[in-house]
Structure 1
Amino acid sequence: MSKSAKQAEPSPPEPADQMIIRDLETVKVLTDPLRLEILELMRQPITVKAVARSLKMPPTKLYYHIGQMEAHGLIRVVATRVVSGIIEKQYQVTARHYSIDRKLLGVDKNNHHSLTQILHNVLDGVSADIQKGLESGLIRVGDEHPVHQRLVLGRTLVRITPQQAQEFIEKINQLLKQFSEDPSEEAQPYSFLIAFHPHSQAKVMEGDDG
């Protein structure tokens, strides 16, 4: 008898285009830097062992994180097979994009600490990923390198109307959707971080204009 045998299962459902996170506990699970890396790897069906190989860590250190992600609906089992008498599972994200319900981002005495932690986790995860890319040579710094290898990093302030702000966000969402649909076999993952918000001095600046 073969050591490996696939169970007959229907084709797994495709991930939803978007999942809106509506509770802080799920947000905390989602924004953990390691879990963000796992989610990126699980955009396609993958086993825990394969994730561990990619992250260069033992699978035993991933089971808790994957259990939390599955319990909060961020990932799901999409296929199983029996290998040497042991059931091996393949996981995949439940959505291609995750958004946080804007109601959770309001700052009050109940969730101020949670919001601060969310911001730290997101920024720490991006920082760690950039550092890894620089150390491995995957990310290059300097205009002499091709655009697809460069780190693009910056911050700027713009003065626009509320209508222009709405148009800007709509165009960003359209671009993200356009480039995430039907990726070719040559496609590589790129990290995209956006923080678009009224500047903390917006009211002061508006008052100065008057």
Structure 2
Amino acid sequence: MADIVIERVIDDVSMLKALADPIRMTLLDLTMGQPDRTWTARELAAQVGVLPTNVYYHLNMLERHELLQVRDTRVVNGIIEKHYGAGQYSVTFHRRAGDGGDETRELVLQAIDKVRDDIHDGLKMESMTMSPDAPDSERMMVSTGLVHIPEDQIAGFRAELIQMVTRYERASRNACRFTVMVAIYPS
């Protein structure tokens, strides 16, 4: 088994295209959410709601770009069954606005839509709340703020955000899991 990369930097158009699909993004989220687990195509297909025969194309594309790893194979009824796992703990996108064009926009919008859907579902199922009286493990926070950063400190601000997220990504896999979406963009 290849080592899992701590942070995969997505910085080329071909990899953006590989991720510019909601099924592939969901597959990536599932495997990165449980990086030590392995999944069969059948298990992943059931999680994303597609037929196993339809998920192979997506798995192969993610595997080609090393976003998924084949960690084990077994022969089941004469057929080789692959067991997939995440190729990284986190993914960071580094593209200039004009690079990747539609793929970059689509990827960003998919990420925002997924967070919105997760929050909607969590509030609907009452598995999360914004109440300050709720236990920390159930409490969500959504905040938007405008900050003023001197130009010579912008890179440092970004680096501190990434460092903080990375510190908690590496924390115990038995800890409470939270999705974190950090956005910093010029206003």
Q: Which letter maps to 1:118?
A: L
Q: Is the Cα contact below 8 Å between 1:33 and 1:122 reproduced in 2?
A: no
Offset, 1:166: 2.7
Identity %: 27
Match of 2:61 in 1: 68
How many aligned positions are there? 183
Q: Which moved more, 1:58-67 or 1:75-84?
A: 58-67
Larger Rg: 1
| CA RMSD, Structure 1 to Structure 2 (Å) | 2.4
Match of 1:189 in 2: 177
Structure 1 141/50 Cα, relative in aligned 2: closer, same or farther at 3 Å? same
Alignment of 1:50-199 (within 5 A): 50-102=43-95, 105-107=96-98, 111-184=100-173, 186-199=174-187
Distance 2:20 2:117 in 1: 13
Residue-by-residue CA offset, 1:93-120 (whole Å, 9 max, x unaligned): 2222222233xx2337xx5433332322
Structure 1 117/56 Cα, relative in aligned 2: closer, same or farther at 3 Å? closer
| TM-score normalised according to structure 2 size | 0.82
Q: Provide the secondary structure at the position in 2 that maps to 1:151.
A: coil
Distance 1:144 1:181 in 2: 28
Offset, 1:19: 2.1
Q: Mind listing any 5+ residue stretches in structure 1 that lack a counterpart? A: 1-11, 200-210
Distance 1:54 1:39 in 2: 12
Structure 1 14/22 Cα, relative in aligned 2: closer, same or farther at 3 Å? same
Distance 1:175 1:155 in 2: 18
Q: Is the Cα contact below 8 Å between 1:34 and 1:125 reproduced in 2?
A: no
